[in-house]
Amino acid sequence: MRSFLFIFLFLQADFLQAQEIKAQVLDASTKKPIPYANVIFAENRGIVTNEEGFFGYIPEKENSPKRIKISSLGYELLEIAPNDISAGIVYLKPASIELREVFLSNKNLSAKEVIEKVKEEVKNNYNFDNSRKRIFLRESDFNYIRRFDLEVDKSTIAGIDQKLMNEISSKIPKVSDSYKEILADMYGNYDQQKVNIIKAANLYNPQNTKSLEQLTDHLSQLFMNTLKERSYLKVRSGIVGVKIDEDELQEEFIVKEQKKEKTSEEIEQDRIKSRENLQKGSNSRVKKLLNGMFWKEDIVFNLFDKSNKYRFKINGYAWIDNATVYVIDFEPKRGADFKGRMYVNTIDYGVHRLEYENVKPLKKFRLFGISTADDVYRGKMIFIKDEAGKYNLSYLERETGESVGIDRPLTIIEKNKHVPGRRKQNELDLDLRLNVSSVNKLQLVVYENESLTTGLAQINETSDFEYETFKAYNPDFWNGYNIIEPNAAIKSFVAFENDEESL
């Protein structure tokens, strides 16, 4: 009996050790969440809190210290045993700074001089060696239809009237979101990478595009019911026009009608193709993020490359990881595009953290009632210092977005010279007013960082991994894996219901 009891207690202890530790990091004074705090739970192992201050991780059976370290800008470094996390809450105390020590170290440098020091010390401060990094990449897409008006000025086509257009407009979701989450090993450095996916999830909303497809199919059906034999359509918007023959309309309609169920072989081919596309897309997104590191030249965020176009100001000092940092604000001058804040170590001039956002659209276009603007470009870079004194990437975030506006007339005329009477048979005149914006957000978290003993050429990329698509958030999919905690929007994600019959 004692032997069985010992085995039970041993297994229970091992099971408890493997349980995920979850908590929220709060400011001890204000009780507000602290986003993007670093949580180190083993040597070269760490995570960051999400936008709401939450984190979770699986303790390692080996190489796992008895205490974890939690740090964030402006707060005292906290070392705490996981068992001491009470009710899933961790409080960080705001740090007080001895300014006398700061002034002794900074030699009264100006903000511009500090920036020059940052550029000079990049090669010494950051780890550019090839390594294997365990990463988690989350891609979030948000679409907003701020206006979608279809006003019917004239219609002689049965079934196409203002009531139908109002119904179509009401069925299109005004706000929609979707997410891809990827756990992978990334090999290489900031210039060259290979990404091997371990596991991936897609929170997909098919209704994002389904409503527009339904609109096209429904209008096509109404047109085909009305269209006379040997007719053709003239489609005109302003001074621009195009002719569509009956054969083209019939061919497209027949193709849609002849859709059939896929065979098992076709389904398997689609499964393989989707993983290959995800693998390529993940490599592309990681490369896109790492190509935008602040020290690189000829990038969109050109703060250091074109520092003469910016105005810098030391806006006090802060504390992180037992080090004092400059708080430096920057804003544009001479036509630059960004403003933001960075935190620079007062001793070695390494950048611990950098935040930026555009102050004006990066590109704009307007002509003949059509306008576009690249109006969102913002991001964060967070680095953590290792025992060798090198800065390593901990968290990288970038948001990009654009807006599109359309305010144009649209005329569709059916013509036929083979029937008695007037050549014009039917006409539809519309005023289209559309305003749409979209935002793409990429978040990359580095959990593990180990030296790479082989060359990058010896790393084989694979597309054989677990990949599932969900129409609602699945809290069990990532059990047993370290990821950045999902925020409230992801946890509440549910795809729109398909409602084809209503159109």
Same domain, 276 and 199: yes
Which tokens hold the place of 73? 């800008």
Same domain, 42 and 148: no
Determine the Cα–Cα distance for residues 286 and 136; give it in Å rounded to an integer.
Answer: 10
- Phi/psi of residue 304, nearest 5 degrees: -85, -30
Residue at 320: amino acid letter: I
Same domain, 58 and 154: no
Q: Which of 146, 165, 145, 147 is nearest to 155 (CA)?
A: 165
Same domain, 203 and 136: yes
Q: Which residues contact 469 (CB under 8 A, 6 or more apart)?
A: 201, 202, 204
Same domain, 90 and 137: no
Q: Maximum Cα–Cα distance for the chain, whole Å?
A: 103
Q: Which residues contact 236 (CB under 8 A, 6 or more apart)?
A: 242, 410, 411, 413
- Span 340-381, pLDDT tens digits: 999 999 999 999 999 999 999 999 998 888 899 999 999 999
Average pLDDT over every residue of 134-162: 89
User: Could you tell me the CATH number of the domain that includes residue 73?
Assistant: 2.60.40.1120
Among 120-129, 339-348, 381-390, 476-485, the minimum mean pLDDT is found in 476-485
Average pLDDT over every residue of 4-13: 35
**160 CB neighbour count, 10 Å cutoff:** 20
Q: Which of 137, 138, 211, 167 is nearest to 493 (CA)?
A: 138
- Specify if 120 maps to a domain: no
- Specify if 357 maps to a domain: no
Picking from 73, 96, 119, the residue at the C-terminal end of a domain is: 96
- Specify if 106 maps to a domain: no
Torsion angle of alpha carbons 477, 480, 483, 489, nearest 10°?
40
- Specify if 422 maps to a domain: yes
pLDDT at position 14 is: 40
Residue 178 burial (C-beta neighbours within 10 Å; 0-12, 13-18, 19+): middle
**Helix (H, G, I), strand (E, B), or coil: what is residue 19?**
coil
Average pLDDT over every residue of 318-325: 84
What residue has token string 């070269």?
44
Same domain, 243 and 144: yes
What residue has token string 């990058």?
456
The number of CA neighbours under 13 Å toward the Cβ of 161 is: 4
Looking at residue 501, the DSSP 8-state letter turns out to be: G
- Specify if 238 maps to a domain: yes
Range of the domain at 24: 2-96
272 vs 72, 201, 266, 276, CA distance in Å?
Answer: 42, 15, 10, 6
CB 341 within 8 A of CB 329: yes
Average pLDDT over every residue of 201-221: 68
Give the highest mean pLDDT range of 114-118, 169-173, 387-391. Answer: 114-118
- Specify if 351 maps to a domain: no
CB 83 within 8 A of CB 59: no
Picking from 45, 75, 96, the residue at the C-terminal end of a domain is: 96
CB 283 within 8 A of CB 193: yes
Strands 78-80 and 323-332: unpaired
CB 379 within 8 A of CB 356: yes
Asked if the model's pLDDT at residue 503 lies above 50, the reply is: no
Q: Which of 378, 388, 320 is nearest to 351 (CA)?
A: 320
Q: How many residues does the chain have?
A: 503
- Span 41-81, pLDDT tens digits: 877 778 889 888 898 888 766 555 678 888 888 888 888 88
Tell me the average pLDDT of the chain: 82
- Specify if 118 maps to a domain: no
Same domain, 227 and 369: yes
> What would the 3-class secondary structure string for 82-104 be?
HHHCECCEEEECECCCCHHHHHH
Determine the Cα–Cα distance for residues 430 and 427; give it in Å rounded to an integer.
Answer: 10
Determine the Cα–Cα distance for residues 350 and 364; give it in Å rounded to an integer.
Answer: 35
Same domain, 180 and 66: no
- Specify if 142 maps to a domain: yes
Same domain, 72 and 185: no
Picking from 74, 96, 118, the residue at the C-terminal end of a domain is: 96
Same domain, 293 and 160: yes
Bigger pLDDT: 185 vs 148: 185
Same domain, 430 and 478: yes
DSSP result, 430-486: EEEEEEEEEEEEEEEEEEEEEE--S-GGGPPP---SEEEEESB--TTTTTTS--PPP
Same domain, 50 and 171: no
Number of domains making up the chain: 2
Asked if the model's pLDDT at residue 258 lies above 70, the reply is: no
Residue 35 burial (C-beta neighbours within 10 Å; 0-12, 13-18, 19+): middle
Q: Is residue 149 very low, low, confident or very high in pLDDT (cuts 50, 70, 90)?
A: confident
Q: Which residues contact 25 (CB under 8 A, 6 or more apart)?
A: 33, 34, 37, 39, 49, 53, 54, 55, 70, 72, 90, 91, 92
